[in-house]
Amino acid sequence: MKLLGKLAGIFLILFASILSLATIVSGFKSIGEGISETRKSGINGLGYVVGSLFVIILSIVLIFFMMKFGLKLIKRKTVVTEAINETGTDNFLK
């Protein structure tokens, strides 16, 4: 089960990194097209730019949470141990 979690974490991180590269490339392209569309016809181009920015921001948030969850799956689970000072206190108080 631990192996499947780690593989899922690696898959999520790889997918998020590929998605982030695609977002960067398409984001610049869509903003450039939106600016040229705004110059041609004002309000229609403005809607195109606002919609593009909304989708870019939404994809950035999705990528962030995919990376965060992928790192959470890969991270080692910490083992809770007793402190050295508390080792013998149970027998001493009885």
What the block records as the tokens of 90 is 């149970």
What are 41-78's pLDDT values in tens digits? 778 778 888 888 899 999 999 999 999 999 998 987 77
Is residue 31 within 8 Å of residue 52, measured between CB atoms? yes
Q: pLDDT at position 85, please?
A: 63
Q: Is residue 85 part of a domain?
A: no
Q: Is residue 11 part of a domain?
A: yes
Q: Is residue 79 part of a domain?
A: no
Percent of the chain, pLDDT > 70? 83
| Host domain of residue 13 | 2-73
* Cβ neighbour number for residue 73 with a 10 Å cutoff: 18
Q: Is the pLDDT of residue 86 over 70?
A: no
Q: Is residue 87 part of a domain?
A: no
Q: Is residue 90 part of a domain?
A: no
